Amino acid sequence: MKETPLSNCEKAFVVQAIKERLRLDGRKLEEFRPLKINFGAEWGSAHVTLGETRVLAQVSCELGQPKATRPNEGLLYINVELSPMAALHFEAGRNSELTVQINRILERTFKDSRCVDLESLCVSAEDKVWILRVDLNVLNHEGNIIDCASVAALCALAHFKHPDVTVTGEEIKIHTSAEKDPIPIVLHHYPVCVSYATFQNGEVAIADPTVIEERSSEANMVFGINSYRELCCLNLGGTTLTSSNLLLQCSSRAANRAKQVVDQIKAALATDAEARSADQSVGFTECLKMNTINSLAQDRLSLRLRRFNFTLDDDFRNMSSNSAGAPDIKAEGDDSLPDATRIDENTGLLNSNQSNVRWVPEDSSDSDEDEHIFEKGDESGGADSDDKDLEEELENVAEEMAYKRQSQPISKGGSQQPVKRNIDNSSDSEEETTMVLG
């Protein structure tokens, strides 16, 4: 399925908003979306959300042969999968241009920067080494996949532990976690990717672009940088050449952002380690129970109104609850609707939570008629216009019923005589008379 093209109106709207230093989700130009990190029950399993962009990372290992050029170093592979679950235009089992680009950027960020100590993965030189594989599955695509994927890969690598082994001659024995504690991966530094999108001929850059902002931008910049403010990777794409001043400004902001993300990752790792040492329940199942992982947690409002706050103050609540005839505020778990008037299907009686709605019973001789007479009084008990309207309505109903009775043949039992019935309305001081046939 092909991606839905972006209309000129949508693109012009986004560009004009950026010119006015506004964004569709209410963020500032340099503001990032909230980042959430959760770990699974197994080692090396991480779930990262950046706004509504979600990536699931899993690290696995196996023993294999090393490369001939580096016989005492392990191997690291990174694989990114963009399935139709992330977006409808992605095809399963087929590497798109975006998939290849993300793979290359992540390999340059993690492998070329030598953040993983590959020599510690060696079991037997020129014979057996640990081969690490990082699988990144994009669950939802809402822009800036590369940043979310880099954080997920780093979290999974820092969380992963491979089994301990014992080498006896040519025999290699892999121990289980019950026999020996697994060994964590050694990381020299913690690199992450920080992305920016440029507008207005490379003069304005926005951080953490969304899908529509990425498609409306002129160019993009991806910085692979670690917590020591060291540049590990730089990727420039697009049609507009970025100025050197803007490039330096974005790199400085990216370094600060990388430091914050790495601190958050270390805090999440420490929290998970404390929970495991205390024999507490961990994993994605526990995260679902604790409501730390949910579906589409962010606002779905595309255009957020700035400086608009709707609050219900205490004065309004008191006024609503104390005013006569005002509907009560619906309590949580109460299925009754305010000001509801209905007729019970079983008993045929009128059920209403309004004090100004009453049932006017008909005479026993009129039980075969389908018409029902309702009387609705005035809440204040003294409005002349309402009284006149009610009298006119009752008179019209009485005339209609009398006309129907006269059009029917008279039975042999006797003639029909009009009978007056008085209705005492508690909300009105005057007496109202309804003409019905006896």
- Please state, in angstroms and rounded to a whole number, the distance separating the CA atoms of residues 371 and 430: 25
**Burial readout 23-45 (b: 16 or more C-beta within 10 A, e: otherwise):** bbbebeeeebbebbbbbbeebbb
| Spatial contact of 64 and 57, defined as CB atoms under 8 Å apart | no
Q: Which residues, including other chains, have CB under 8 Å from residue 399's CB and lie 6 or more apart?
A: 435
Helices 145-159, 244-277: inter-axial angle, 10-degree rounding: 40
Scanning 281-379, the segments in alpha helix (DSSP H) are 284-289, 314-322
DSSP secondary-structure letter at 37? E
- Please state, in angstroms and rounded to a whole number, the distance separating the CA atoms of residues 285 and 47: 12
CATH homologous superfamily, domain 8-289: GHMP Kinase, N-terminal domain (3.30.230.70)
Phi-psi region of 296 (alpha: psi -120 to 50; beta: other; left: phi over 0): left
- Please state, in angstroms and rounded to a whole number, the distance separating the CA atoms of residues 80 and 55: 10
Q: Quick count: other Cβ atoms within 10 Å of Cβ 426? A: 10
C-alpha closest to that of 97 among 88, 108, 89, 107:
89
Low-confidence ranges of the chain (pLDDT < 50): 297-299, 301-302, 310, 316, 323-341, 347-350, 352-383, 411-438
Q: Quick count: other Cβ atoms within 10 Å of Cβ 193? A: 31
**In sequence order, what are the beta bridge partners of 193?**
224
Scanning 204-243, the segments in alpha helix (DSSP H) are 211-216
pLDDT given at position 257: 95
What token pair was written down for 65? 């042969």
What token pair was written down for 142? 């809402």
In single-letter form, the type of residue at position 59 comes to: V
| Spatial contact of 62 and 131, defined as CB atoms under 8 Å apart | yes
pLDDT given at position 368: 46
Q: Is the dihedral of CA 169, 174, 175, 181 positive or negative?
A: positive
pLDDT given at position 351: 52
| pLDDT tens for each residue of 151-187 | 999 999 999 999 999 988 888 888 988 899 999 999 9
Place of tokens 């409005």: 383
Give the up-direction half-sphere exposure of residue 291: CA atoms within 13 A in the CB hemisphere: 1
| pLDDT tens for each residue of 304-357 | 555 555 455 555 455 555 544 444 444 444 444 444 445 555 544 445 444 444
pLDDT given at position 362: 46
Domain with CATH 3.30.230.70 in the chain: 8-289
Query: Could you give the C-alpha distances from 221 to 90, 113, 224, in angstroms and in order?
Result: 23, 18, 10
| Spatial contact of 103 and 110, defined as CB atoms under 8 Å apart | no
231-238 β-sheet, strand order = 204-207, 191-199, 219-226, 231-238
